[in-house]
Amino acid sequence: MSTAPSTSPNPGSARSQEPPSDGAPPSGIPAAAPSRWAPLRPLVLRLHFYAGVLVAPFLLVAATTGLLYAFSFQAEKLVYAHELTVPAGKTELPISRQVAAARKAHPEGTVSAIRPSPEAGAATRVLLSGVKGVGADHTLAVFVDPYTGKVRGALEQYGSTGALPLRTWIDELHRDLHLGDTGRLYSEFAASWLWVISGGGLVLWFSRRRALRKVRGTGGRRRTLGLHGSVGVWAAAGFFFLSATGLTWSAYAGANIDELRTSLGQATPSVSAAASGGEHAGHDMASMTGGSAEHGVGVDKVLAAARAEGLGNPVEIVPPADANSAYVVRQVQRSWPEKQDAVAVDPGTGEVTDVLRFDDYPVLAKLTRWGIDLHTGILFGIVNQLALALLALALILLILWGYRMWWQRGRGSAFGRPVPRGAWADVPPYLLVPAMAVIAVLGYFVPLLGIPLAAFLAVDIVLGEVAHRRGRRTYGRGSQVK
């Protein structure tokens, strides 16, 4: 939403006015009186322009891969329909028999979790870790017909959402471009700047007079600006949300957010998996090392104990980690309403030793859970996914319109024309000092915003000083005031 300032004999006012070709008010429309915030507009304009130009390629990649991810849920159901679904029957086999069938077909690795069939016609998943050829942070999901015990296939699975190979590939493309930890910097950089660019665009749009926001009946750069601004205003709230939730589990900002939540006593709690220490606590540990899921009382009684505590489908059963650990049964529904209750069950006695309810989560822990699930398109299902797709499409269009305006601004020159330097000098201290304080705090907690912003300011100040010493300052479309 950047606009080009006009040439004026008064350098201070030059940067706060717009040339007629960029949408000056038609004759008869009085100019609006400048507000106390008017000195900030050239500064926001410059930041919005350069951040848009430099960050847009990263945002374009994030938006495109995010658009793919929004459709990956439905694609996954189609591609893996044979493994995920089964003919509905009348009576399900005990979980222990289903696990035994999976282990007979796939004796490799260790049973790390079991996800019983969540609904009629859905397969049970037996998750195996330590399988050769499967990544350390992935598992092999063996799909079992809960009515017949027949194994329908095995696929690599990632994450607590149960993502299968297609969705996992798209997810990792969106998150890190398949470059690992180094690639995560791109998505964090994009998320760090998305809210800044969106906020700057809102300030610029609403600081324009109403007559300059019209799209209908206009042409050229003004029409492009109108489309860019109108769509940006409608999508801004969504962009703020995507930026905030994307940073929640990013590498650097995410770590700072986790540390802050912990210091406030708002960390996500977990159920205690310590066994009661009864005489059967270490029962059948030899079978555990062999990869079995049967320890002590067995998974059937453990699941029954969890059901008695009110844990309905979908659930995940995690076998004891060692001789002093309990089974953990937790709900894994991350669609609305969230089901995240968990219990620990002693393997020797079958008694519940600890209970954790989602209702008892700290407020910030709940908000984090809801925010992440909304960001990933899980919380409200297909409606959520369609909303994410629309936001991704809106961002793609805004970026393309932004580059088109840059081209139109330069009248076809190779790189368009930049907005003028020196906006910092015109901001009064009562606005500049608080703004710098806010930027410093945000830069500390969001380093991929703070570090590039500091570098931009340093370069801008140096170039401005060089131009000043040479006795020229550049305004508008290349005119010079000496």
pLDDT in tens, 159-170: 889 999 999 999
Whole-angstrom Cα distance, residue 69 to residue 375? 11
**Tokens in use for 268?**
């996500």
Q: Which pLDDT band holds residue 424 (cuts at 50, 70, 90)? A: low
- Mean pLDDT across 447-462: 83
Q: What is the pLDDT of residue 291?
A: 56
| Residue 377 maps to a domain | no
- Mean pLDDT across 26-30: 45
Last residue of a domain, one of 163, 191, 210: 163
- CATH number for the domain that contains residue 100: 3.10.450
pLDDT in tens, 313-363: 999 999 999 989 999 999 999 999 999 999 999 999 999 999 999 999 999
- Mean pLDDT across 432-439: 81
pLDDT in tens, 210-269: 656 666 656 788 889 889 999 999 999 999 999 999 999 899 999 999 999 999 999 999
Q: Is 13 exposed, middle or buried (0-12, 13-18, 19+ CB in 10 A)?
A: middle
Residue 67: phi and psi, rounded to 5, are -65, -40
Q: What is the pLDDT of residue 434?
A: 84
Residues 414 and 347 in one domain: no
Range with the poorest average pLDDT among 19-28, 36-45, 179-188, 301-310 = 19-28
Compute the residue count for the chain: 482
Residues 300 and 326 in one domain: yes
Whole-angstrom Cα distance, residue 369 to residue 375? 10
Residues 136 and 200 in one domain: no
pLDDT in tens, 30-70: 444 556 667 778 878 888 888 888 899 999 999 999 999 99
Whole-angstrom Cα distance, residue 171 to residue 326? 32
| Residue 371 maps to a domain | no
The most confident of the ranges 8-22, 26-40, 92-106 is 92-106
303 DSSP 8-state letter: H
15 pLDDT exceeds 80? no
| Residue 74 maps to a domain | no
From residue 33, alpha-carbon distances to 2, 30, 412 in Å are 21, 9, 34
**Residues of the domain holding 145:** 82-163
Residues 34 and 155 in one domain: no
Cα angle for residues 170, 402, 451 (degrees, 5° grid): 70
Cα angle for residues 109, 113, 118 (degrees, 5° grid): 135
Residues 149 and 190 in one domain: no
**Tokens in use for 313?**
């489908």
- Mean pLDDT across 413-439: 68
Residues 403 and 446 in one domain: yes
* Closest C-alpha among 170, 218, 162 to residue 334: 162
> Beta strand pairing status for 110-115 and 124-129?
antiparallel
| Residue 220 maps to a domain | yes
The distance of Cα 409 from the centroid of its chain, to the nearest Å, equals: 33
Which amino acid is located at 325 in the chain?
S
Please report which residue ranges of 333-481 form alpha helices under DSSP H.
Answer: 363-375, 381-409, 429-445, 447-469
Q: What is the pLDDT of residue 154?
A: 98
**Tokens in use for 447?**
């380093």
- Mean pLDDT across 419-439: 73
Residues 389 and 459 in one domain: yes
117 compared with 323, residue with greater pLDDT? 117
Residue 318: phi and psi, rounded to 5, are -110, 120
Last residue of a domain, one of 129, 163, 197: 163
pLDDT in tens, 123-154: 999 999 999 999 889 999 999 999 999 999 99
Residues 393 and 448 in one domain: yes
| Residue 37 maps to a domain | yes
Residues 398 and 474 in one domain: yes
| Residue 393 maps to a domain | yes
405 pLDDT exceeds 50? yes
Q: Which pLDDT band holds residue 28 (cuts at 50, 70, 90)? A: very low
β partners of residue 330: 316, 342
| Residue 453 maps to a domain | yes
406 compared with 476, residue with greater pLDDT? 406
Q: Which pLDDT band holds residue 476 (cuts at 50, 70, 90)? A: very low
9 pLDDT exceeds 50? no
466 compared with 186, residue with greater pLDDT? 186
Q: Is 301 exposed, middle or buried (0-12, 13-18, 19+ CB in 10 A)?
A: middle
| Residue 27 maps to a domain | yes
Whole-angstrom Cα distance, residue 295 to residue 285? 7
Contact between 249 and 176 (Cβ < 8 Å): no
Q: What is the pLDDT of residue 472?
A: 53
Whole-angstrom Cα distance, residue 449 to residue 441? 11
Residues 136 and 48 in one domain: no
Q: Structurally, how many domains does the chain consist of?
A: 3
* Closest C-alpha among 423, 23, 58, 6 to residue 224: 23
Whole-angstrom Cα distance, residue 475 to residue 478? 6
pLDDT over 70, % of the chain: 79
Residues 188 and 49 in one domain: yes
Residues 54 and 92 in one domain: no
Range with the poorest average pLDDT among 35-39, 59-63, 366-370, 459-463 = 35-39
Contact between 251 and 223 (Cβ < 8 Å): no
Mean pLDDT taken over the chain = 84
